Structure 1
Amino acid sequence: MLEYKAIEIFTSEEARWQGKPLSDAIVHFIAGLKTAARCMVTRGTDGCYETGEIATRKLEVLSYNMPLRITIILPAGALDRVLPDIERMVTDGIVVLHSLDVISHKTQNRLIPPQIKVRDVMTVNPRTVTPSTPLDEVVRILLCSIFTGLPVVDSDHRPVGIISQGDLIYRAGMPLRLCLLAASEESRLKAFLDSMASKTAAEIMTRPVMSIHEDRQLTEAVDLMLQKGLKRLPVVDSGGRLVGIVSRMDLFRTIMKESPDWQTFKKLDIQVENLHSVSDIMRRDTHAVKPDTPLDEVMRIIDSNDIQRVAVVDAEGRYLGLISDEDLLTVFNRHSASLWDYVVSKMSFTEMGRKHKEFLDHLQAGTAGELMSVKHITVLEEAPMEEAIRLMTEHNLKRLPVLDSQGYYKGMVSRESLLRTGFTGCRI
């Protein structure tokens, strides 16, 4: 048996707390605690109060102040978090406490509650461009932003396309990701931006653009983003005008805010179905090198696998650190001519090494252990998926190294793999 408590509140429809109906206030209070409690409001058909007032459904009396009973059932250990505030909120009614012997308590893990609408979490008034906006201006906006995509709108502010970092790379010839381009030599960056001035957003934007109405459930936006492989989704009003944008990070922040601590629920012997851990995420980047791996080999791995970072592990496979393409940029910066050759000609790291013997010699002499960063955030594979989401949100990470309890490297999880596993592995 599980030890539970039941709080019952006998009140009326006219009872208020801070200007709101008391029943609404209590329901939202319990939901906001994210504790293992259930709350139910029942409305009576007839009754009377201490004042002598009679509440009835009979038309000749015309009474609308019907009696209400609010019932809250929760683990006994959570009572102290709830009861004092309930007593304070009930200024008109009777509060009763019961002890219960509960046989079982079962629930399902929902990453996002179904009542949340897109408008509740979207980023409002996002930066936009028009089809005629020059591409150099598009790039300048993105270089100064934390996001990597821009909606394109017409004169009525209706979305007609979207420009992503991928569009700029594959359609406009942008040689590097935005974060790497921003670190390039200023004169070279200016020359590249000047070369983009003759092109417009209309020439490279993705169209037609997928969008969603602001009043739709957020779960529908998630489904659409997963089905179409979208990182962000424009949000429109009833007139089709852009009012916001919802991104993966908006989803992650919502999960952090709304999702209870399911691990604590399990410790209370509550059976939580569809509870995922990081180890449930099947698709992982598993590329790794040893500390003595020459840097030219690290670059070849990045080239051939189209990845942005490689883990460094010891001979037994224990995680030591991480090398990203941003770390490799420090090597380029010591050879600015080689860096610009790579930028303008799109040579691979390997091809660039062949062209510049001095640069190649430097790469062969350097090792992964010398360049790797040891300050990256990691997550244990047995951690709940929500913990990985929390870490990626708080530290603005796109990928997260996964370790086992002994420190062995198991792979890398991405934002997409977390969302796809969490939202397709259980019904939200």
Structure 2
Amino acid sequence: MFAVYGLSGPIFRGTFERLGEVAAVARSRPVQPVAGEEARAASGTPSAQAISAYRQMLRVDGDRGPLYHAYQVMQRPVVSLFSEDTVERAWRLLLARRIHQAPVLDAGYRLVGIVSERDLLTTLNLDADGPRDIMARQVGDVMTTPVVTADPVTDIRRIAQVMLEHGVDGVPIVNESDALVGFVSRSDVLRAVITDPPLSLWR
């Protein structure tokens, strides 16, 4: 289950299939195949033969491992910022925690957006000593909103699909009370894939 949060609070809650109904959530351009690749993979070609051989070698032993949900791989406690925080404070926090983005809360601790290094760099000039020539702006001025979220029992494969289709590097995890309880980044998904026993990627 996914939800979208904006400055006015929750604006959508539903399944992954309905997430596309939210016009305010930007989608990244899908990856297009190289021209001619599909034609070269037609039956009887070397590409099709290789794919067929690979499939025959795969283990057909049912489920390869446990199905992971967001609550099993999410980061907690969550490193977050407030919309009233200065851009400089946000930059120093991301740097100190070695993270690339953080959820943004309003004064009432409600999720209203997400801010990334890219967002902050629009207002910062950096040198060897850190930020300089800082514009007097707050996190709320540069954050991305609305933000797509997931609930704790969402399949991480669906979360990975949201990251790809919506061009985001992480998804905040919000419970049924609209409280921020975790964060799933690309790194968290990759760590789940290489965990032993391995993640079941197909069923």
Q: TM-score range by the shorter chain?
A: 0.5 to 0.7
Aligned residues: 144
User: Are 1:399 and 2:181 matched, yes or no?
Assistant: no
Question: Could you give the per-residue CA deviations for residues 227-286 of structure 1, whole angstroms, max 9, x where no partner exists?
Answer: xxxxxxxxxxxxxxxxxxxxxxxxxxxxxxxxxxxxxxxxxxxxxx82321111154582
Q: Distance in 2 between matches of 1:218 and 1:317?
A: 48
Q: For the structure 1 residues 367 and 398, does the alpha-carbon distance in structure 2 shift closer, same or farther, using more than 3 Å as the test?
A: closer
Name the one with the larger helix percent. 1
Question: Which residue of structure 2 aligns with residue 382 of structure 1?
Answer: 153
User: Are 1:347 and 2:126 matched, yes or no?
Assistant: no
Question: Which residue of structure 2 aligns with residue 245 of structure 1?
Answer: none
Question: Which residue of structure 2 aligns with residue 317 of structure 1?
Answer: 109
Question: Could you give the per-residue CA deviations for residues 264-316 of structure 1, whole angstroms, max 9, x where no partner exists?
Answer: xxxxxxxxx82321111154582111122122211211222222222111345
Q: Distance in 2 between matches of 1:298 and 1:328?
A: 8
Q: Distance in 2 between matches of 1:329 and 1:368?
A: 12
The aligned amino acid for 1:300 is R
Contact 1:291 1:312 in 2 (8 A): yes
Q: Distance in 1 between matches of 2:114 and 2:181?
A: 13
1:157-306 pair list within 5 angstroms? 274-283=66-75, 286-306=78-98
Contact 2:174 2:180 in 1 (8 A): yes
Q: Distance in 2 between matches of 1:346 and 1:321?
A: 30
Structure 2 length-normalised TM: 0.57
Q: Distance in 1 between matches of 2:176 and 2:148?
A: 15
Q: For the structure 1 residues 425 and 369, does the alpha-carbon distance in structure 2 shift closer, same or farther, using more than 3 Å as the test?
A: same
Q: Secondary structure of the equivalent of 2:173?
A: strand
Question: Which residue of structure 2 aligns with residue 49 of structure 1?
Answer: none
Q: Distance in 1 between matches of 2:169 and 2:114?
A: 14
Structure number with greater CO (CA < 8 Å, separation at least 6) is 2
Contact 1:284 1:413 in 2 (8 A): no
Structure 1 length-normalised TM: 0.29
User: Are 1:412 and 2:183 matched, yes or no?
Assistant: yes
TM-fit CA distance, 1:394: 2.0
Contact 1:379 1:403 in 2 (8 A): yes
Question: Could you give the per-residue CA deviations for residues 43-83 of structure 1, whole angstroms, max 9, x where no partner exists?
Answer: xxxxxxxxxxxxxxxxxxxxxxxxxxxxxxxxxxxxxxxxx
Q: Secondary structure of the equivalent of 2:148?
A: coil
Question: Which residue of structure 2 aligns with residue 233 of structure 1?
Answer: none
Q: Distance in 2 between matches of 1:425 and 1:284?
A: 22
Structure 2: gaps of 5 or more residues? 1-32, 35-52, 60-64
Question: Could you give the per-residue CA deviations for residues 6-50 of structure 1, whole angstroms, max 9, x where no partner exists?
Answer: xxxxxxxxxxxxxxxxxxxxxxxxxxxxxxxxxxxxxxxxxxxxx
